[in-house]
């Protein structure tokens, strides 16, 4: 019998099961929510969370003292304002805000993005306030 990567994965890690395991479809998940600035967890990677978020308008200036924060734009256009200048992300582009760097995302059109950051990161960082969101799982 031929063995391939899937066979190996099935026997070694038990991740593949009869009937198959579905891929996580980002477009499908983006169709399941509308609210802005409220990240949804779609996967975990060790101690990290992979999240989807829709944004429109301006967020709040804040800093994450303990972690970098990755933004990957899926649709729309995201401007990450930094005190040293703006980073503008088009679909397919990403930027990592280094830990301790103050930033304020802004979107003039509705924008969908993926976020990758450690579990438990608060979206408003040190700023807090009404835009602070509790991350909900989405599947």
**Cβ proximity to Ni ion, 16 vs 81, nearer residue:** 81
**Cβ proximity to Ni ion, 32 vs 99, nearer residue:** 99
Which residue stretch of 9-17, 25-33, 63-71, 83-91 sits at the interface with Ni ion (rule: CB under 5 A)? Answer: 63-71
Quote the least distance from Cβ 73 to Ni ion, whole Å.
15
In the region spanning residues 65 to 84, those forming contacts with Ni ion, defined by CB under 5 A, are 69
Give Cβ neighbours of residue 17 (< 8 Å, ≥ 6 apart).
Answer: 10
* 113 close to 94: Cβ distance less than 8 angstroms: no
* 112 close to 76: Cβ distance less than 8 angstroms: yes
Nearest to 121 by CA among 73, 53, 65: 65
Quote the least distance from Cβ 84 to Ni ion, whole Å.
16
Which residue stretch of 4-12, 38-46, 50-58, 64-72 sits at the interface with Ni ion (rule: CB under 5 A)? Answer: 64-72
- Rounded Cα distance between 75 and 17, Å, is 33
């Amino acid at each position: 019998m031929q063995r391939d990567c899937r066979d190996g994965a099935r026997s070694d890690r038990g991740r593949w099961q009869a009937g198959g395991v579905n891929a996580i479809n980002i477009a499908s998940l983006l169709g399941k929510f509308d609210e802005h600035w409220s990240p949804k967890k779609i996967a975990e990677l060790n101690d990290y969370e992979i999240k989807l978020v829709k944004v429109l308008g301006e967020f709040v200036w804040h800093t994450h003292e303990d972690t970098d924060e990755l933004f990957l734009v899926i649709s729309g256009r995201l401007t990450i304002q930094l005190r040293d200048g703006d980073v503008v992300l088009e679909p397919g582009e990403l930027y990592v805000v280094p830990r301790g760097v103050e930033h304020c995302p802004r979107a003039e059109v509705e924008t969908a993005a993926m976020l990758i950051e450690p579990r438990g990161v608060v979206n408003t960082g040190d700023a807090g306030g009404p835009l602070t969101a509790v991350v909900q799982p989405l599947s």
